[in-house]
Structure 1
Amino acid sequence: MGTARRIRTRVWDRYSASDPGLLRLMAGLRTVGSIGLTLLILSLLDISVTHMVAGAMAAMVSTFAIREKRVRDQAVTLALGLPTAFASVSLGALLNPHIVIGDIAFIVLIFGAAYVRRFGDRGSALGMIGFQIYFLSLFVHATGSGLPSLYLSLAIAFACSAVMRFALVPETPERTLDRLRQAFRARTAQLVATQIELLDAEPERLESVIADLRKDIARLHEAALMIQGALDGGTDDETTAALLQRRVADAEIAVERLGLLLLTARSGERADTLTLHLPNAPLPAPARRVPDEDDALRKLRTELRALHLLVTRLGAGDPGTAVARVRNRLLAYRDEENLPSASLAVQDAFRGIGEAARSVLGLRLALDGPGDESDDTPETIRSREEFEAEDLALAGEGETEQDRTGLKRRTTRAAIQVSAGSGLAILGGEFLSTQRWYWAVLTCWVVFLNTSSTGEILVKGYRRLIGTVCGVVAGVLLAGAVGHHTVTAFVLVLVLIFAMFFTAPVSYALMSFFVTAMLGLLYSLLHTYSVHVLVLRIEETALGAACGIIAAVLIFPVHTDLRTDEQLVTVLERLRDVATSAVAQLSGGPAVDLLDMARELDTALDDLRRSTHPLTHPVTPLRGRRRTARYLVALLETCAYHARSLAATAELVPYSTSIAADPRLAAVGVRLEHNLDVLIAHVEDVTDERPRDSRGGKDADDIKDAARGRAARHGTVDDALRTEPSIASMLEGGGSGVPRSGSVTFRVLRHLQRLDEGVAGLARPLGVSVTAGRAGRKSGRPAA
């Protein structure tokens, strides 16, 4: 019985880690449930198959279009969506016979649906509903005489969507956050399991294990970002949100740092943080072991398994006495006298296990409260007191998109682009088919959704075409197998819709495959199926993608390199803010909200990572540029990790008894700020050389002047990065000895040095000169 339960728990943890928050599962179940319930009611009312298809599509649209977090907001949007759907289907039915007027009205509708996205999630949902329902009227060939039956189908579809959303498969921010926390725990356990493999891996398998380690670190960071995004609606107050955010950040930093320490422990040299973020990065050479260290490594392996158990049992309400003893044993490694006799690198790994166990304790305290304290050891009591002090401290504690107007607003430019592309798609689609030209318009519409540059549109159009071609083959096979069996066809449609929503966040090509395969069945239900129709679907898809790309290239284009440069500036600005504020606090400056700063840095870095997808795509012909983009993003991820670590430590300074501020660190903050300002000004110089009207962002002169103004205040107007002796040696000059390995001071210095080296390392891919003095000359190499 116990074995079966453990197996079920292990399987569920694997799935929970693969689908954080069960968001894909819930979306698929809610959509399929809405469609199934709609079809059941419509069949009982003896509605025609055509209008049943319309009801099913309306149920799907009314379910997936609404993305707001709060239940009340979802209800208001759903209520507004029904009259929007009525107006859209009425317009489509009345204008279908009038080709020219209908096409013009469709383009106006497309512009409005894209433009209202500026009003947030509600505007996006209503625009999506308006567009998709008009498309539905074209798909089922709606007429004025059939409007009453269509109104009934739409009303039932929206009602069924409400029943599924608010009653049968309810989704609240609190439940979503709770499932995201479980996914974070599961992904943390997976990362620790991979770290155990890292310690045991043979040299020939090391590269493969490191690749798995990189993937697990990225997945853990993704879960942490999703938790940060769900905190506002999923917690009762700001204090609780800040507390949970800090605990998650502590756990992420501690477990990622443990992997680096383990890699160093099994190697003959200190591992570079970049190794955990850059594929094919050079690995440290293996170390020669002595017998005593072999004993320590065996013990290290045992304690890693104990840490894995501790993380796995984090989701249990009662950790149990045995788990409490394991926790106490691991926390003891935070004390120097409990470390085994081994090299400094191996001892550091034991310290890392102790810090990881502390972060697990912090998560448990944040999620479940104090719990049973009867078995606490002095080290556990000390850790609890540190968390209580942090909790008390938390309890006491430029231009935006909305500011832009006209064509500087991204939604306005996108609305004009998609309208122009749709006009081209209508013209071209009419030449291919006077009956199904709207497929080209749909493709043109969707390739503009959630894209911000020409390269992203190109990649999305390519993936949609690939998915469509494969889906046509599947559609032919399914339609031939099902024939005219209506019930079987509808069941398969529901299965394909579930697969479509389940795979949408993972692969756009897979989603397009399932959509096209589903269409083959829908055409069978409407008795309009033929191989020619599905081949026409490929042609219309290719045409729509081409029209979208043409519009993106010719009308107010946002080039991929320009977009990535803008995102790079944002990341560098956020990195500067976090790093300099953390160093200022570590050197005795005033306390600031470093948690929010670190969150903004992570969000900006995630945006940059998505923006570089066209540059790093396997089919890109610019191999050198792809390598540069990957290296740059990996280096920024490394810098962000060290900045987050410094921020987490700096927040402890005002109330900690073990961490004291050191005024000598202020000089490091000045150099970091200067170097980052130089990088920002350089990227803006490169960006400013491109056409100004395609940017739509902040004015380059304003940003450059601000960056150079900050540099001027520190007397560093030169345009070269400055490198000076290491942080540790600079502190030694103040008369203090080298801090012992494993101490908080040593860790702060290590993070500062790595961050300083990482920022200096950005000079090479960005083409900025580096000098040891105050003068320098900037090279002419372009930004990545």
Structure 2
Amino acid sequence: MRTRLRDRVAASDPGLLRLIAGLRTVGAIALALAVLALLGSDVTHLVAGAMAAMVATFAIREKQPGAQALTLALGLPVALASVSLAALLSSRVIAGDVFFVVLIFCAVYGRRFGDRGTALGLIGFQLYFVSLFVGASAGALPELYRAVALAFACSALVRFAVVPARPAGILQRLRQAFRARLAQLISAQLALLDAEPDGIDKALEDLREGTARLHETALMIQTRLEEGTPDASTARLVQRRIADAEIAAERLGLLLLSARSARRADTLTLHLPGAPAPTVRSLPGSDEAMGLVRRDLGALRELVLRPPAEARGTALSHLRNRLLGYREEENLPAASPAVQDVFRGIGETARAVLGLRVALDGPQDESDDSPATTRSREELDAEDAAIDAGEEQAPAAEPTGLRRPTTRAAVQVAVGSSLAIVGGELLSAQRWYWAVLTCWIVFLNTASTGEILVKGYRRLLGTVFGVVAGIVLAGVVGQHTWTAFALVLVFIFAMFYTAPLSYTLMSFFVTAMLGLLYTLLHTYSTAVLLLRVEETALGAACGVVAAALVLPVRTDRRTDELLGTVLEKLVDVTEGAVEQLSGGPAAELLDRARDLDQALGDFRAATQPLTHPITPLRARRDTARYVVALLETCAYHARSLAATAELLPTHPSIAADPRLRGAVRRTVRNIEAIAARVADERAGTEVETGPSIASLLEPDAGGAPRYGRITGRVLRHLERLDEAVTGLARPLGVPVAAPRR
């Protein structure tokens, strides 16, 4: 029971990153409140200290403890300078407003200097806001200095001593999350196996979600490998085994869907939300075949979930040996080819799980290995020996001047904040800063007008519901100071725990918390909370206006740029994999594949304004979803080709075939044609069609000999990649040429 609960928590919060963020923030605030209360600080400075501790905790984003400590140390003088200027300029309205706009520009511009620049800018802005919120004056600065300094000290103590998070520990928890999500995906595959025709859509949707969640965790591990592993070779080994397991599990789901379908399932079905499920049938053959598949999927899930300390014993070895035997055609049940492919897929996934366990947990007990298991271990050892650190990539050239995203965003936020100050002071001379805060926030982690519009809408929606909650809670809590502080801590934890999941929900908890803070400061009223809604709406509107009129980046332009990057990375991975499969030199293919995944993730995020449920352009929304699904399909096949190509030096069933260079040329030309059309609508490019990839590999009329054995899997990936690339042409408006005779 304890193991199951741990796996469930690991799967819901990979790496426990949200839990750690919430606990650190709440711990820092609680400790700061306790210390300030013992020193006899009044409620105003308790609130200031709590907010400063929160900022000092969430602003730091570096992964290494040393870098975090340095940024925190540099943040304290920035915070003290910021509260000083806010207090000194509080009586000089125009000078204060001008400085606030300059501070906002510098804070956003500082993002170009990485995590440290972002953190220091955030600390400077937020502490200026804290001073405005508590109404700090020059005479109160000594007490405010003490509260801020203690808040930073408490944040450091909690971060480094109470709730430490070392990179190696985070990576270890992410690995556990990957295992848990892999087991959940296998459970979804079992549900698909047993689903009745009227429940197949729900089972398929669960399969899609499980596949996406596994991929998300694989990418999170990728970003932590450099800091969490002792050397580059270990990082590449873990990366390779994670990629193998992810690809094998996704392929197994596709094989199961094909076995249950009247015809071979399209890979796109696994990546397009809402896509209709194919016509399903019972597993052909007999109920016995169904039972065997169900049994072996359960055994595979057991292999994934069993902790290393419990992984010894003849029973588990027997399961592993049986599953690995399917890879070598051992004991395949009498069934249709599609069902036998499922058993082979189970064997390949079992082999990936074995490699994952060896890479993550070290050497395993080999006393009960069958010949098939021994051969799998030998293949894994040979692959491990071939993995090296690779070469470092040169940094890409960045745009300069106003074309640099951080500079453009700084100008936009400065203009939007100026509008928010003017409009906010017309609404309220005392609480105009809420409009500025909203304008600032809607620009964080956004890059186009559409993204800012969606984020502003979500913040306004969460604020409205939060105001309702704040009114209710203020009436219940009344003047019970420590009860109110306790609820504030609960809301702050909920705010950080839900932030990656729902921006609307996070905004709800922020607003509800502020209602309690107003109560503590004796400035609460229903009119104040309603004013917050008005200021929030004004700030969001100012942000959208600034984004639309000042150096605008239209959503179409942003998505086109990112789509071009995805297509470029797709060519890079595909050409590199095929070149290696054709006998060319080895390359860092999995690194290229992860670059493709990252580019695709950026593109998917940029299309959110187009795919949001409230968008009135339904046809455009469906087109955007279809394009993203096709690109995910392309990325899956390219990733699979890259993983297969890296097996070439060690795997006995894969041999180089120079003819593959010719077979993939049409696909690469088509990707480049689509990229050219995306970059310039007037480009006269078109997509070619023609014979299947498999037919291009047949011997010519002269009977030229075959150069080597190419697996059917490689052919299928190339064929499906070619089909998906051709499918991109229609939604992107690229002409498709008739097949050449």
Alignment TM-score > 0.5, same fold? yes
- What TM-score do you get using the length of structure 1 for normalisation? 0.92
Q: 1:144 and 1:317, CA in 2 relative to 1: closer, same or farther beyond 3 A?
A: farther
Letter in 1 for 2:623: T
Offset at residue 318 of structure 1 (A): 4.0
Task: Provide the residue aligned with 2:77 in structure 1.
Answer: 83
Offset at residue 342 of structure 1 (A): 0.6
Does 1:352 pair with 2:345?
Answer: yes
Letter in 1 for 2:92: H
Letter in 2 for 1:461: G
Alignment of 1:494-643 (within 5 A): 494-643=489-638
Offset at residue 28 of structure 1 (A): 0.2
Q: 1:317 and 1:299, CA in 2 relative to 1: closer, same or farther beyond 3 A?
A: closer
Offset at residue 773 of structure 1 (A): 5.6
CA contact (8 A) 2:477 2:483 kept: yes
Offset at residue 669 of structure 1 (A): 2.6
CA offsets per residue over residues 382-425 of structure 1, 9 Å max, x none? 11111111111113759977632110100000000000000000
CA contact (8 A) 1:739 1:746 kept: no
CA contact (8 A) 1:722 1:771 kept: yes
Q: 1:21 and 1:315, CA in 2 relative to 1: closer, same or farther beyond 3 A?
A: farther
Letter in 2 for 1:682: R
Task: Provide the residue aligned with 2:315 in structure 1.
Answer: 322
Does 1:756 pair with 2:684?
Answer: no
> Where does structure 2 lack aligned partners over 5 or more consecutive residues?
none
Task: Provide the residue aligned with 2:106 in structure 1.
Answer: 112
Letter in 1 for 2:232: E
Q: Distance in 2 between matches of 1:287 and 1:313?
A: 33
Equivalent position to 2:185, from 191, 208, 223: 191
Greater Cα shift, 388-397 or 574-583: 388-397
Greater Cα shift, 747-756 or 336-345: 336-345
Task: Provide the residue aligned with 2:736 in structure 1.
Answer: 770
Offset at residue 653 of structure 1 (A): 1.0
Does 1:379 pair with 2:355?
Answer: no
- What TM-score do you get using the length of structure 2 for normalisation? 0.97
Q: 1:629 and 1:71, CA in 2 relative to 1: closer, same or farther beyond 3 A?
A: same
Q: 1:465 and 1:738, CA in 2 relative to 1: closer, same or farther beyond 3 A?
A: farther
Find the residue that maps to 1:416 and give its secondary structure.
helix
CA offsets per residue over residues 411-440 of structure 1, 9 Å max, x none? 000000000000000000001100000000
CA contact (8 A) 1:260 1:271 kept: yes
Letter in 1 for 2:158: M
Offset at residue 312 of structure 1 (A): 1.1
Task: Provide the residue aligned with 1:730 in structure 2.
Answer: 696
Greater Cα shift, 98-107 or 277-286: 277-286
CA contact (8 A) 2:14 2:174 kept: yes
Task: Provide the residue aligned with 1:340 in structure 2.
Answer: 333
Q: Distance in 2 between matches of 1:13 and 1:348?
A: 30
What is the RMSD of the two structures over their aligned residues, measured on CA atoms? 1.9
Does 1:281 pair with 2:275?
Answer: yes
Task: Provide the residue aligned with 1:713 in structure 2.
Answer: none
Q: Distance in 1 between matches of 2:597 and 2:399?
A: 24
CA offsets per residue over residues 203-240 of structure 1, 9 Å max, x none? 00000110111111111110000000111111111101
Offset at residue 286 of structure 1 (A): 2.5
Task: Provide the residue aligned with 2:305 in structure 1.
Answer: 312
Task: Provide the residue aligned with 2:407 in structure 1.
Answer: 412
Offset at residue 78 of structure 1 (A): 0.3
CA contact (8 A) 1:440 1:543 kept: yes
Task: Provide the residue aligned with 1:448 in structure 2.
Answer: 443
Find the residue that maps to 1:766 and give its secondary structure.
coil
Task: Provide the residue aligned with 2:115 in structure 1.
Answer: 121
Does 1:477 pair with 2:443?
Answer: no
Q: 1:464 and 1:733, CA in 2 relative to 1: closer, same or farther beyond 3 A?
A: same
Offset at residue 370 of structure 1 (A): 1.6
CA contact (8 A) 1:575 1:643 kept: yes
Q: Distance in 2 between matches of 1:389 and 1:136?
A: 59
CA contact (8 A) 2:238 2:359 kept: yes
Letter in 2 for 1:356: T
Find the residue that maps to 1:651 and give its secondary structure.
helix
Offset at residue 294 of structure 1 (A): 2.6
Letter in 2 for 1:304: L
Q: Distance in 2 between matches of 1:66 and 1:316?
A: 36
Offset at residue 313 of structure 1 (A): 1.0
Q: 1:289 and 1:493, CA in 2 relative to 1: closer, same or farther beyond 3 A?
A: closer
Task: Provide the residue aligned with 1:464 in structure 2.
Answer: 459
Q: Distance in 2 between matches of 1:303 and 1:654?
A: 30
Task: Provide the residue aligned with 1:369 in structure 2.
Answer: 362
Q: Distance in 2 between matches of 1:514 and 1:345?
A: 51
Q: Distance in 2 between matches of 1:343 and 1:238?
A: 44
Task: Provide the residue aligned with 1:697 in structure 2.
Answer: none
CA offsets per residue over residues 712-770 of structure 1, 9 Å max, x none? xxxxxx72212221111222234599999xx9710000001000111111111111112
Q: Give % identity.
A: 66
Task: Provide the residue aligned with 1:170 in structure 2.
Answer: 164
Does 1:57 pair with 2:23?
Answer: no
Q: Distance in 2 between matches of 1:35 and 1:155?
A: 13
CA contact (8 A) 1:672 1:756 kept: yes
CA contact (8 A) 2:729 2:736 kept: yes
Does 1:659 pair with 2:628?
Answer: no
CA contact (8 A) 1:92 1:102 kept: yes
Q: Distance in 1 between matches of 2:295 and 2:338?
A: 17
Task: Provide the residue aligned with 2:25 in structure 1.
Answer: 31
Q: Distance in 1 between matches of 2:389 and 2:54?
A: 46
Offset at residue 671 of structure 1 (A): 1.6
Offset at residue 454 of structure 1 (A): 0.3
Task: Provide the residue aligned with 1:747 in structure 2.
Answer: 713
Task: Provide the residue aligned with 1:692 in structure 2.
Answer: none
Q: Distance in 1 between matches of 2:271 and 2:28?
A: 42
CA contact (8 A) 1:67 1:74 kept: yes
Does 1:250 pair with 2:216?
Answer: no
Q: Distance in 2 between matches of 1:282 and 1:151?
A: 61
Does 1:674 pair with 2:640?
Answer: no
Q: Distance in 2 between matches of 1:288 and 1:307?
A: 22
CA contact (8 A) 1:583 1:668 kept: no
CA contact (8 A) 1:185 1:315 kept: no
Offset at residue 655 of structure 1 (A): 3.1
CA contact (8 A) 2:82 2:124 kept: yes
Letter in 2 for 1:583: V
Offset at residue 280 of structure 1 (A): 2.9
CA contact (8 A) 2:59 2:119 kept: yes
CA offsets per residue over residues 610-640 of structure 1, 9 Å max, x none? 0000000001011100000000000000010
Q: Distance in 2 between matches of 1:105 and 1:121?
A: 24
Q: 1:447 and 1:367, CA in 2 relative to 1: closer, same or farther beyond 3 A?
A: same
CA contact (8 A) 1:185 1:314 kept: no
Q: Distance in 1 between matches of 2:316 and 2:671?
A: 46
CA offsets per residue over residues 634-657 of structure 1, 9 Å max, x none? 000001000000000001112332
Equivalent position to 1:270, from 264, 267, 272: 264
CA offsets per residue over residues 64-87 of structure 1, 9 Å max, x none? 000100010000000000000010
Give the total of aligned pairs: 737
Find the residue that maps to 2:659 and give its secondary structure.
helix
CA contact (8 A) 1:317 1:368 kept: no
Equivalent position to 2:385, from 373, 383, 392: 392
Find the residue that maps to 1:337 and give its secondary structure.
coil
